[in-house]
Structure 1
Amino acid sequence: MSGVFEPEHWMMVLPPYLGWRAAGRGGVWWGLVAAVLAGVVPAVFLALGARRGWWRRGLRVRRERLVAVPGLLLVLAVALGVVHGAGAPREVAALVTAMVAVVVAGAAVTGVWKVSAHAAVSAAAAAALVIACRPRPVGATVLLVAALGAVVVVVAWSRVRLECHTRAQVVVGAVLGLALGGTVFAGLR
C-alpha cells in the first residue's frame, strides 16, 4: 500500500485536481506543471540517485536521507519559485508550499530521528483535500475525513509492517503532516 501512496504520487495527482477545482481547465494546466515539478522531478531525482548508488531506493537509512534531502529541497525550491512566481492558482501554490513545508520539517527531524515521510505527506494530502473540498452536509465531511483517515492509517500500518518505520515514527509523521501541512495549506489558499 505504501508504494501506491508514495509521497511523490500524492504530488502527481493532487495539484491537477486542486487546480481544476480552483480555476477550471487553466487550473488543470497549472496543476500539471506543479505535478511535474513537485512530483515527477523529485521522483526522477530520487530514482537516479538510487541508480547511481548514492542511496538505496526508499531512503530507508537515515544517513541516506541526509545525503538526498539537500538535492530534493533544491528541486522543490524550483517548484515553489515557479508556482508562486508565475501565477499558479492559490490552491495549487498552497499545496506545493504545504508539502514543501512538511518535507523541510521532516528533514529537520531526520537530523536526529527518522520520521515517516509517507505518513507525513499522506496526512498533509488528506488535510488539504478536506480543507479544499469542504463537503456539505456535515455527514459528507465525516465520510471524507473517515475515508482519508483510513488511507493514512493503512499507509502508516504498511510502513510499520514493511519494517521501514516504528509505530512512533509513523505517528509523528502523520501528526507532522496533518498539523503543519494542513495549517500551511489552509493559511495560503
Structure 2
Amino acid sequence: MLSGLPGRYAAARVITEVFQPPIVVAVMMVLSPAGTPGFPGTLWYGVIAAVFTCVVPFLVLVALVRAGKVSDHHVSDRRQRGPVLALSLVIVLVGLGVLALLRAPASVIAMVLALVGGIVLLALVSLVWKISGHAAAITSAAVSFMFLFGPEWWPALLLVPVVVWSRLVLRAHTAAQLAAGAVLGGAVIVGLWRGLLGWLG
C-alpha cells in the first residue's frame, strides 16, 4: 500500500506506474499518424499500432507474472528480460504485418519499425546490463512529440528527469543505466523513426 511508504517513495511509485513503458509507448503509437498527412482521420491506425505494440504484450506479461514465470510487470529481474522482449517482438511484428496490409500511414509504420529496433537493442543490452526501459520510453516519447507537433511541446522533456528521479528513488536502476536508456530512446529510437519516415515517405 502506498499509504505505508514515505512521501517520496510513494510519489516515485506512482510516477513509475503512470509512466511505465507500455503506457508511454501506447500514447506514442496512438499519436504517430500525426507524422503524415490525414491526421486526425488516420488516428485509428495509431490505435491498432498501440494494441499490438503495447496492450497485447502487456496483457501477456501480466499473465506471465500471475503464472509465476516473471518476477513483476516491470521485469525487474534482468535475466527475464530477454525472453519477455523476444515474445513482445513477435507480437509487434504481427501487428506490423496487419498495419502493412491495412496500408497504414508511413509515420505509423516507421514508428513501429523504430520500436522493433529499440526492443532488439534493449534485449541485447539486457543480456549483460539492466538498461532502463522507463528512461528509453519517456525520452523517445518526449522527443517524438516535438517532431510531431512542434517545438512548443518542449515541456514534455520535463517528464524525463521526473521519471529518472522516480527510478533512482526506487533503486530500480543506476544513474548510468538511466542515462543509457535516455540516449537509446531520445537518439537511437527517434533517430530510427525519423530516418525510416524519410525513407518510407
TM-score (norm 1): 0.88
Contact 1:20-1:26 within 8 A present in 2 as well: no
Q: Within 5 Å, which residues of 2 pair with 1:31-180?
A: 31-57=46-72, 58-133=74-149, 135=150, 141=151, 143-145=152-154, 147-180=155-188
Structure 1 residue 100, shift from structure 2 partner = 2.1
The question of whether the paired residues in 1 share the 8 Å contact of 2:143 and 2:157 is answered with no
Larger radius of gyration: 2
Structure 1: state its 5+ residue gaps. Answer: 136-140
Give, in whole Å, the separation in 1 of the partners of 2:162 and 2:40.
Answer: 33
Q: Is the 8 A contact 2:33 2:108 kept in 1?
A: yes
Gaps of 5+ in 2: 1-14
- RMSD value, Cα: 1.6
Deviations 1:14-42 (A, max 9, x none): 22223256323541111111111111011
- Aligned partner of 1:13 in structure 2 is 27
User: What is the Cα deviation at residue 82 of structure 1?
Assistant: 2.2
Matched-pair contact (CA < 8 Å) for 2:34–2:148: no
Deviates more, 1:18-27 or 1:172-181: 18-27
Are residue 2 (structure 1) and residue 11 (structure 2) matched? no
Secondary structure in 2 matching 1:3: helix
> Residues of 2 paired with 1:5 and 1:103: CA distance?
18
Identity of aligned residues (%): 34
Give the SS at the match of 2:130.
coil
Contact preservation (8 Å) 1:128, 1:186: no
Give the TM-score normalised by structure 2: 0.83
> Which of 45, 62, 68 is matched with 1:30 structurally?
45
Distance 2:147 2:195 in 1: 10
Query: Residue 66 of structure 1: CA displacement?
Result: 2.6
Mapped partners of 1:27, 1:68: distance in 2: 30
C-alpha displacement at 1:122, in angstroms?
1.2
Is the CA contact (8 Å cut-off) linking 1:156 and 1:170 kept in structure 2? yes
Q: Provide the rounded CA distance (Å) in 2 between the counterparts of 1:144 and 1:115.
A: 27
- Counterpart-to-counterpart distance in 2, 1:67 and 1:181: 21
Query: Does the 8 Å contact 2:114/2:190 carry over to 1?
Result: yes
In the alignment of these two chains, the number of paired residues is 181
CA contact (8 A) 2:57 2:88 kept: yes
Q: 1:129 to 1:25 in 2, by over 3 A?
A: closer
Q: What is the CA–CA distance in structure 2 between the aligned matches of 1:132 and 1:5, rounded to whole Å?
A: 20
